[in-house]
Amino acid sequence: MIVVTGASGRLGRLVVEHLLRRGVPAAEVVAAVRAPERAADLAARGVVVREADYDRPETLAPAFDGADRLLFVSSSGPDDLRLVQHRAVVDAARAARVGLVAYTSIVRADTNPLRLARVHRATEEALAASSSALIPKKA
């Protein structure tokens, strides 16, 4: 199962559409969204729609349940809030035992001098630290 966060936004929706066009069965795609009603058209096509609100961490692990792969679309907003939101996503992915997490970061986050890179660098560090704590799913 592939979970795409932000699936009612521009990038997330494009990814879901691309997966469907490539032949991934709709039932194996999860559109993780803050407002499930905004993804009703995807649900009508057989895509699994789950609530996943970065500001409500309790919604994240259930949204990621059963995921082999997760596309983690970065949030927007003030840096301090984004750091908290991103940490919640990383923690939920670990709790849900997601096999692979792909994150929409910034080029060379570890050395990029842009202020925007700070959030991405911290998120990448959290993902790297959590990957050693991930327990593979049982087959």
Q: What pLDDT digit, counting tens, does each position of 97-106 carry?
A: 999 999 999 9
Is a pLDDT exceeding 90 seen at residue 77? no
pLDDT at residue 138 is higher than 50: no
For residue 118, give its domain range: 2-131
- In a domain, residue 94? The reply is yes
Is the pLDDT score of 136 beyond 90? no
Q: What is the CATH number of the domain that holds 123?
A: 3.40.50.720
User: Mean pLDDT in the chain?
Assistant: 93
In a domain, 139, yes or no: no
Domain presence at residue 117:
yes
Q: In the chain, how many H helices and how many E strands? A: 5, 5
Match 């057989």 to its residue by tokens.
Answer: 46
pLDDT at residue 137 tops 60: no
Dump the DSSP string for 4-30.
EETTTSHHHHHHHHHHHHTT--GGGEE
Note whether residue 10 is domain-resident.
yes
Q: Find the angle CA(78)-CA(15)-CA(55) to the nearest 5 degrees.
A: 30
- Name the pTM for this structure: 0.90
The confidence score (pLDDT) of residue 116 equals: 87
Which three-class secondary structure state does DSSP give residue 32? Answer: strand
Confidence of residue 33 (pLDDT cuts 50, 70, 90): very high
Residue 137 in domain: no
Residue 108 lies in a domain: yes
Q: Give the total number of structural domains in the chain.
A: 1
100: closest CA among 130, 61, 80? Answer: 130
Residue 18 clears pLDDT 70, i.e. is over it: yes
Secondary-structure breakdown of the chain: helix, strand, coil percentages, each rounded to the nearest 5:
45, 15, 40
Q: Would you say residue 107 lies in a domain?
A: yes
Is position 73 within any domain?
yes
CA distances from 72 to 5, 31, 94 (A): 6, 11, 13
- C-alpha angle 45-50-51 in degrees, rounded to nearest 5: 135
Percent with pLDDT over 90 in the chain: 89
What local confidence, expressed as pLDDT, does residue 21 receive?
A: 98
Contacts of 6 (CB under 8 A, 6+ apart): 12, 32, 33, 73, 75
Query: Residues 117-136: what's their mean pLDDT?
Result: 82
